[in-house]
Amino acid sequence: MKGIHVLRHLLLLMGLPFALASASSEQREGWWLGRPRPYFAESPTNLTIISGQTAYLPCRVHMLGDRSVTWMRGRDLHILTVGLVTYSADERFQVLHTQETDDWTLQVQYSQPRDSGTYKCQVNSDPKIVRNVFLSVTDKRFLDGQLYKMPATTGEDGEYGTHIVGGEARFLQAGSSLSLECVVTHTRAPPTAVLWYHDHSVLDYDSPRGGISLQVEKSGEQTTSRLLLSSVRESDSGNYTCLPVNAPTASVSVHVNSADELRAAVHQGGISLAAHRQVGVGGAALPPVAAAIVGLYGARVVALLS
């Protein structure tokens, strides 16, 4: 050990490089000699998307130095990119990298089901290091077919069940937030993905609408997906469908109204401010539309009518 420290000081005086070792036999001594060795940082290795979307396969390499990063397709070892140069005739493939980061992200535009498979991020160090990233592309046509079939909430073997927490209709005032929670129960493997649709358009982080938050939580035999839309507007009205891959779907109807429309709906339903107060006192029956709105908004309806 003493000899290592002496050699280290000699290298410093000579201006030669040394660095902390990573996982290697020299790590027991605390140092390695020569060039720093590149290594991969932790990043996701499984990605699931819908056909037509852009896939971003992450690969972060620290201590790269003058080595190069190569992306290859696993099934045929076809070289897609080397450094910043694309070697594939398929222009959908491109590597994203800036000098400020250690990221070498493979971008696959207009993804197709045939793009599914393993992709290899390789560094030409000695020895070479490789990180596998698996991409799964679900055919959008298959999902659209599931939307129209609308299978029952439980399969014949009772393997899956899907429901959205709350009633089948939601009434919202423009500018408020929409929060939907979809619960998928399963006796075997959980669904590979849980998707949300507004009418026939898929909702995700890249949707033109913006202001969309998606969360997925898996615990035991239950998978919960939460959809949050901020600052809803009338164009957000429609049918919202929770679609777990290879599992039944569930839907709710959402109605977004402005304050003026809400006031008109309440009056057209045969409810006035006085009648609303009578409901609270004497339990007078209300028409269904008015009852739903009053039940949802409560005191806010009183404020709108006063």
Q: Is 91 exposed, middle or buried (0-12, 13-18, 19+ CB in 10 A)?
A: exposed
Nearest to 44 by CA among 138, 135, 139: 135
Contact call for residues 21 and 36 (beta carbons, < 8 A): no
Distance from C-alpha of 186 to C-alpha of 182, rounded to nearest angstrom: 13
Helix (H) or strand (E) holding 217: strand 212-219
Distance from C-alpha of 279 to C-alpha of 299, rounded to nearest angstrom: 13
List the chain pLDDT tens, one digit each, 306 residues.
445 555 554 444 444 444 443 344 433 344 455 678 899 999 889 888 888 888 999 999 999 999 999 999 999 999 999 999 999 888 899 999 998 899 999 999 888 888 999 999 999 998 999 999 999 988 877 666 555 444 444 444 457 789 999 888 888 888 889 999 999 988 777 887 888 999 888 887 767 788 888 888 888 788 889 999 988 999 999 999 998 877 888 999 999 987 666 566 555 555 444 444 444 434 444 444 444 444 444 444 444 444
Alpha-helix residue ranges (DSSP H) falling in 42-201? 140-149
